[in-house]
Amino acid sequence: MKYKEFDEWITEMSGEHASDDYWYDVGVTDATMLLEKFSEFDWELFSKHIIDKPLEWQKRVIYCFEEENDIREISIVL
């Protein structure tokens, strides 16, 4: 299950001690690669739990989304 790994990574990257420079240089690439490996089950978990996450976590996630207009990403943003 990649959702758990993704959740932990975004949590680490959006915490108090997270470096914005590291996020934009490396972290977003790693997070995007994890999203690419999501199963349909991972997407379901993701969409159910994003609303309960802190705003900074949510912002990091949206930044990871590709510009391919994936319906799953669009529904999460909405």
pLDDT at 68 over 80: no
pTM of the model: 0.80
**pLDDT confidence tier of residue 74, bands split at 50, 70 and 90:** confident
Tokens of 14: 């959006």
Counting the structural domains of the chain, the total is: 1
Q: How confident is the model at residue 62 (pLDDT cuts 50, 70, 90)?
A: confident
Band the pLDDT of 22: cuts 50, 70, 90: confident
Nearest 10 degrees: Cα torsion 21, 24, 63, 33: -140
Give the domain range for residue 20: 2-77
pLDDT, residue 53, reads 92
